[in-house]
């Protein structure tokens, strides 16, 4: 008996063991799918929100796929791909972060079926690549060109993006706001680039989201320095942004000065006073009457004494300006930051009609600078909210809306939403698969079916019967109604373009190409090697 067993093992040793490679692949796909399923319920206007509780006890309520995945602690290496995937979609398009993960999950599921049928992973991967290129072509053919002057279309696409968020009831306010913000920072010299760094979102607790406004100018979430009766309002302001400290100098090394009598002490204080007065005289001589002072680490940027003298010189002071805000401020005010008192000249100042401290209803205060001369192409958005969770979510939603408008600036095409493009893709890829030969056609057909996951999930999240809806949708598209999609409000299938549910072409095309890229990467992996 033993002899035959030995003989058996001898005869099978010539084969390579493929079991492990399949297992690794299955494990990777299963892990990635579970991540995709975790965010699937938050897709679409009727999607659920996730409550994320971090280890530090902070609670975040969000509907944004990228935020959810970013905060999730994913341990499995392949599942981390999906987190990176939603991040890259966030960078490229800004919206559709949930969509891209859901599509990737569906494609993985389809590949799993193909793999278990014995098709080689490389064949599956190549077929996927071809299908994605074809899909982008189909989407581009469906798209409708849009002009930046067509304000309504831009607002429609921004409000579609906002509809799936917690703050969807405010989309009528936030969507036009996002469009105006982006259009105001587009440089006519480079018309297809909009840099979102030029839009500063300032969050201030209190009020409701209705109080959110677009400010032509600068907003600081700070009070004016009130020490020694400082001013709180200045008209015809000449603004200096300084990066040095108005305080007595310190030595570079740690040492102590021993004072033996009062005259020496008086001399020290007198020197300090003269030093500060000398600085303030130079500042006053240049005609400056508003100072923005950068935060300093090494020593106090301003002392009580210097604030007292600044108040006497009738100069309004805003202190503790963050270092990373300096660039934005100087660009907006069209001035130069001043790093040394010797360089304080009138030509480095910015000019504005009014700098004032505004009191908000709930005791909070903030500083607004309006009527800036030769203002740079920047804008500020002041977001209000009744609690921190709503405020953070409003900021994230606004960011998504801004990204959507940015997509339209860089690639001026619109496409229908509501699952219409996905069904159309599924139909056309299915037809194309019949033309292809061999395994490829079989693979493309499977991927075409996988794309139906988006309309299916949309219907499911809206509490409709997904099978009926998707079948009806296919029927409509087969009859040539390209823009038929799911209207979740009415719970039936309508022409989505009439309902104003539109999205930028870039969101859809990047979602498809990024998802396929990610799935191909997962398919190509056949072993995990841990290195100590």
Which pLDDT value is given to residue 511?
Answer: 92
Q: What is the pLDDT of residue 498?
A: 87
- If DSSP codes are grouped into helix, strand and coil, which group holds residue 144? strand
**If you search the block for the tokens 């996927």, which residue do you land on?**
128
Place of tokens 């100087």: 330
The DSSP code for 269 is H
Cβ atoms of 198 and 378 within 8 Å: the answer is yes
Token look-up 């290195």 returns: 531
Give the pLDDT of residue 131.
93
Cα radius of gyration (the chain): 30
Residue 222 neighbours by CB distance under 10 Å: 16
Catalytic residue, candidates 62, 67, 97, 516: 97
126 labelled catalytic: no
pLDDT in tens, 432-450: 999 988 888 999 999 999 9
Number of H helices, E strands in the chain: 17, 17
64 is catalytic: yes
Q: Note the pLDDT of residue 447.
A: 92
pLDDT (tens place) for every residue of the chain, 532 residues total: 555 555 455 555 556 667 888 888 889 999 999 989 888 898 888 888 889 898 888 888 888 888 888 888 888 888 888 899 999 998 888 888 899 999 999 999 999 999 998 889 999 999 999 999 999 999 999 898 988 888 888 898 898 888 888 888 888 999 999 999 998 888 888 888 888 888 999 988 888 889 899 988 889 888 888 877 778 888 899 999 998 888 887 777 777 878 888 888 888 889 888 998 998 888 888 889 888 988 888 777 788 888 888 888 888 888 888 888 899 999 898 899 998 888 888 888 999 999 988 887 776 788 999 899 888 889 999 998 888 888 988 998 899 899 889 888 888 898 988 889 999 999 999 999 999 888 889 999 999 999 999 999 989 888 889 999 999 999 999 998 888 888 888 888 899 888 888 888 998 999 999 999 999 999 988 888 888 7
Q: What is the pLDDT of residue 489?
A: 81
Query: Containing H/E element for 4?
Result: helix 2-12
Contacts of 476 (CB under 8 A, 6+ apart): 484, 493
Q: Which of 67, 90, 95, 98 is catalytic?
A: 98
Q: b vs e for 261-283, b when ≥16 Cβ sit within 10 Å of the residue's Cβ?
A: eeeeeeeeeeebeeebeebbeeb
CA–CA distances in Å: residue 350 to residues 318, 381, 461: 15, 21, 52
Parallel, antiparallel, or unpaired for β 365-372 and 217-220?
A: antiparallel
pLDDT digits (tens, 9 = 90+) for 94-107: 888 899 999 999 99
Told to judge if 140 belongs to the known catalytic residues of this protein, a careful annotator would answer no
Pairing of strands 316-321, 290-294: parallel
Four-residue CA torsion sign, 97, 98, 99, 104:
positive
Query: In angstroms, rounded to a whole number, what is the distance separating the alpha carbons of residues 240 and 131?
Result: 58
DSSP 170: G
Quick one: which of 518, 527, 530 has its CA closest to 129? 518
Bridge partner residues of 60 (DSSP): 52
What six digits make up the tokens of 274?
Answer: 């003269």
Q: Which of these is catalytic: 99, 160, 400, 457?
A: 400
Say whether 98 is catalytic: yes
DSSP 313-335: TT-EEEEEE-GGGHHHHHHHHT-
Query: Six-digit token pair at 445?
Result: 């057909």
Cβ-in-10-Å burial (0-12, 13-18, 19+) of 292 comes to buried
Q: Quick one: which H or E segment has residue 446?
A: helix 438-450
Cβ(464)–Cβ(437) below 8 Å: no
Report d(CA 469, CA 269) in Å as an integer: 82
Instruction: Please state, as a whole number, how many other Cβ atoms lie within 10 Å of the Cβ of residue 18.
Output: 9
Range 475-478 contact pairs with CB under 8 angstroms and sequence separation of 24 or more: 477/420, 477/423, 477/424, 477/427, 478/427
Q: What pLDDT is stored for residue 430 in this prediction?
A: 92
What is the C-alpha separation between 293 and 34, in angstroms, rounded? Answer: 50
Any idea which residue has 């696409």 for tokens?
Answer: 157
Q: Look up tokens 């240049």; give the residue.
A: 286
**CA dist., res. 66 & res. 86, Å (int):** 5
């Amino acid at each position: 008996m033993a002899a035959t067993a030995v003989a058996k093992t001898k005869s099978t040793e010539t084969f390579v063991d493929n079991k492990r490679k399949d297992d690794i692949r299955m494990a990777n796909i299963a892990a990635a799918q579970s991540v995709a399923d975790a965010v699937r319920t938050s897709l679409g206007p009727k999607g659920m929100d996730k409550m994320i509780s971090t280890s530090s006890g902070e609670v975040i309520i969000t509907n944004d796929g990228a935020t959810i995945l970013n905060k999730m602690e994913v341990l499995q290496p392949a599942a981390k791909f999906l987190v990176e995937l939603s991040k890259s979609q966030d960078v490229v398009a800004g919206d559709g972060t949930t969509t891209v993960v859901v599509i990737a999950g569906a494609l993985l599921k389809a590949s799993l079926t193909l793999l278990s049928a014995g098709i080689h992973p490389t064949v599956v991967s190549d077929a996927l690549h071809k299908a994605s290129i074809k899909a982008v072509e189909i989407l581009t053919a469906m798209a409708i060109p849009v002009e930046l002057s067509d304000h309504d279309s831009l607002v429609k696409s921004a409000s579609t993006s906002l509809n799936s968020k917690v703050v969807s009831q405010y989309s009528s306010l936030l969507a036009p706001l996002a469009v105006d913000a982006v259009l105001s920072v587009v440089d006519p010299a480079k018309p297809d680039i909009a840099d979102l760094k030029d839009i500063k979102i300032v969050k201030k607790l209190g009020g409701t989201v209705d109080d959110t406004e677009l400010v032509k100018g600068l907003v600081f979430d700070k009070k004016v320095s009130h020490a020694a009766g400082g001013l709180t309002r200045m008209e015809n302001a000449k603004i200096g942004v300084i990066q040095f400290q108005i305080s007595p100098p310190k030595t570079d090394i740690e040492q102590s000065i021993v004072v033996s009598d009062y005259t020496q002490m008086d001399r020290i204080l007198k020197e300090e006073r003269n030093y500060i007065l000398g600085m303030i005289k130079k500042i006053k001589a240049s005609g400056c009457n508003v100072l923005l002072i950068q935060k300093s680490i090494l020593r106090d940027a301003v002392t009580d004494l210097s604030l007292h003298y600044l108040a006497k010189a009738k100069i309004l002071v805003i202190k503790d300006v963050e270092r990373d805000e300096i660039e934005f401020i100087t660009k907006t005010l069209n001035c130069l930051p001043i790093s040394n008192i010797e360089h304080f000249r009138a030509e480095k100042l910015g000019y504005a009609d009014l700098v004032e401290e505004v009191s908000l209803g709930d005791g909070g205060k903030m500083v607004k600078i309006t009527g800036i001369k030769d203002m740079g192409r920047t804008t500020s958005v002041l977001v209000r909210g009744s609690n921190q969770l709503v405020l953070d979510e409003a900021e994230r939603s606004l960011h998504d809306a801004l990204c959507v408008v940015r997509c339209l600036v860089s690639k001026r095409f619109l496409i229908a939403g509501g699952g219409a493009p996905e069904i159309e893709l599924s139909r056309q890829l299915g037809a194309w698969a019949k033309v292809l030969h061999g395994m490829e056609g079989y693979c493309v057909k499977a991927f075409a079916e996988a794309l139906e996951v988006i309309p299916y999930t949309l219907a499911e999240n809206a509490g409709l019967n997904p099978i009926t809806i998707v079948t009806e949708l296919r029927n409509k598209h087969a009859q040539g109604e390209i823009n038929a999609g799911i209207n979740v409000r009415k719970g039936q299938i309508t022409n989505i373009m009439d309902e104003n549910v539109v999205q930028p072409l870039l969101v859809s095309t990047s979602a498809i190409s990024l998802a396929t890229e990610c799935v191909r990467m997962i398919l190509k992996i056949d072993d995990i090697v841990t290195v100590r």
